[in-house]
Amino acid sequence: MIRSTALALLAAALTATPAMAQTYRDRPPEDEVLYFLLPDRFDNGDTANDRGGLSGDRLVTGFDPASKGFYHGGDLKGVLNRLDYIQALGATAIWVGPIFKNKPVQGPKGQESAGYHGYWITDFTQVDPHFGTNVEFKAVVDAAHKRGIKVYMDIVVNHTADVIQYRECGDCSYRSRADYPYSRKGGVAGAAINPGFAGDGDHSDANFAKLVRPDYAYTPYVPEAERNVKVPAWLNDPIYYHNRGNSTFAGESSTMGDFVGLDDLMTEHARVVAGMIAIFGGWIDRFGIDGFRIDTARHVNPAFWQAFVPAMLARAKARGIPNFHIFGEVADPEVAALARHTRVDTFPAVLDFAFNQAVIDVAGGKGTDRLAKVFAADVLYEGGEKTAHRLPTFVSNHDAGRAATFIQQANPKISHAELLQRVQLAQAMLLLLRGVPTIYSGDEQGFVSDGNDQDAREDLFGSMVASYNDNHLLGTDATTATPSFNTANPLFREIAALARLRTSHPALTRGRQVTRFASDKPGLFAVSRFDPKTGAETVIAFNTSAELWTGNIQVETGSTAFRTLAGACPANAVAPGSLALSLPAFGYTVCAAGAAK
């Protein structure tokens, strides 16, 4: 169903006063609307690079477009070719999944998959040949910048591809520092090694110079065929890795264990800190990118980030990028856990998993107070509400899965029409509430995944994956078997209109947010947002129930006259401090008052 307000929304947005500065470099992070894509699953602009320059079957090249766990052929030329599409959606910045050269295939026999997602890096200095070249990435960045669109890179510091092996075992369990100290080989009863090493708490060059043997827990080695596969060359030495076996994702193993077998870098090591600063500072220098999303941020020790983050911000500033946006992936729905990383690790922002969970719950039929609780905890972030405005918010992503999937799971008997309405409501919450809205590619085309991870990484170009192509998409009779770049899809149109509405009104990008109403039941959720310069109030209300909602919402007593930005708004307050609204099932409205006196 195409909402009747969509075109009115767009017209209002295009005639409003822009909130953004004249040049893209001047825009602060909260002014952006992000569009996140995995290059392999977005568009195939050059079939010649589908196999990454390799010859052989899929276990060599990683290419199998019919398998959800292998490369499909999408690349940087595909991104370049679709900048018109991304801009039409209203995105002002593109978050590009990792593009670094990866180990093409890894995994136990019979369970292999490919590095199409980009998180199994071997060479941190060049683009994976499956995606193109460094020159082609520069072309994407330059072309985006000419349009005023920023480009964020997805980077990995925690680990590399699985190259290092252990002589004692294959799938090795974690061995702690207490049972396997750095000072003994293979346990507390082993031979003395690494004399004078004071432990990983002393991050000095002098201390780590005394760590010369990595066989305190296991005996690590690099297979001959991969001895020099990592770039820069220092990454090939096991001494720069923890080598303690697989993480249990609890206790010390959370930052020192191998992430499902991936080689876990010893980020306490002074050489690793300097090396990573040089690697990623180099990408800023050469390409002039605008931000970093940092993968697996919670699995790296805080001292590393305390050095790395300021170094990247300084590097960007020196390159003429004053608003470089850094945010870490901390996959936890609890605000306290997220906020800790802004205080202890000094992250300027983190991905807002708490917002994600709350919107999924509320749009799926749970009480609207779940959103209110998230916003009430904004004070916990370092910098408080100002920092909360810079948290990238999302309702779907490549790891967590898609909003449509979870809303459908929460309502098994839901009709496709109602599912579309609820998903549109979730996207409206994303684009109208505080934070930096992040749209995951495919959401605007009505993708409904089977689950998370590989199941939520569908192709936007014509797919050959059967489990993708049998899904019923929202707002269309098409499937993912045909290219999904339809600008007439009702979700595309609504997101595009809301994105332009947002970026045209400072209250919706930078405005302070006050919760006006929430309940432990489905129904009304309302907030006011205030223009940071004029103080003018904008009231945003959502109805999460299947019934018409009619009632009054508290507003400022000075907010007396209103104009409609979306939905339907009365011309005047019903009384000083009270606005009467009527919201259809799963509807929303945006009402702007005049400037505060």
User: Which residues form the catalytic set?
Assistant: 295, 329
Contact 551, 563 (CB under 8 A): no
Alpha-carbon dihedral sign for residues 457, 460, 463, 468: positive
Contact 140, 290 (CB under 8 A): no
Q: Quick one: tokens of 552?
A: 């009054």
Please measure the distance between the N-terminal and C-terminal CA atoms of the chain and give it in whole angstroms. Answer: 41
| Residues 6 or more apart in contact with residue 8 via CB below 8 angstroms | 564, 566
Distance CA 440, CA 210 (A): 46
Q: Quick one: tokens of 184?
A: 């003994």
Length of the chain: 597
What value, to the nearest 5°, has the Cα angle with vertex 292 and ends 288 and 295? 150
Q: What residue has token string 């349009």?
A: 147
Pick the closest to residue 40 from 107, 87, 98, 125 (CA basis): 98
Distance CA 53, CA 312 (A): 33
Burial of 83 (0-12, 13-18, 19+ CB in 10 A): middle
Contact 570, 554 (CB under 8 A): no
539 forms beta bridges with: 528, 591
DSSP letters spanning 327-347? EE----S-HHHHHHHHHTS--
Contact 363, 427 (CB under 8 A): no
Q: Strands 150-155 and 121-127: what pairing?
A: unpaired
Contact 193, 213 (CB under 8 A): yes
What torsion do the CA atoms of 526, 330, 247, 98 make, to the nearest 10 degrees?
Answer: 120
Three-class secondary structure of residue 593 per DSSP: strand
Taking each continuous run of H as one helix and of E as one strand, the counts in the chain are 19, 20
Contact 557, 575 (CB under 8 A): no
What value, to the nearest 5°, has the Cα angle with vertex 28 and ends 143 and 597? 130
Distance CA 310, CA 346 (A): 9
Pick the closest to residue 447 from 480, 417, 425, 488 (CA basis): 480
The conformation of residue 194, written as its DSSP 8-state character, comes to S
Contact 363, 423 (CB under 8 A): yes
DSSP letters spanning 502-528? HHT-HHHHT-EEEEEE--SSSSEEEEE
Distance CA 312, CA 318 (A): 10
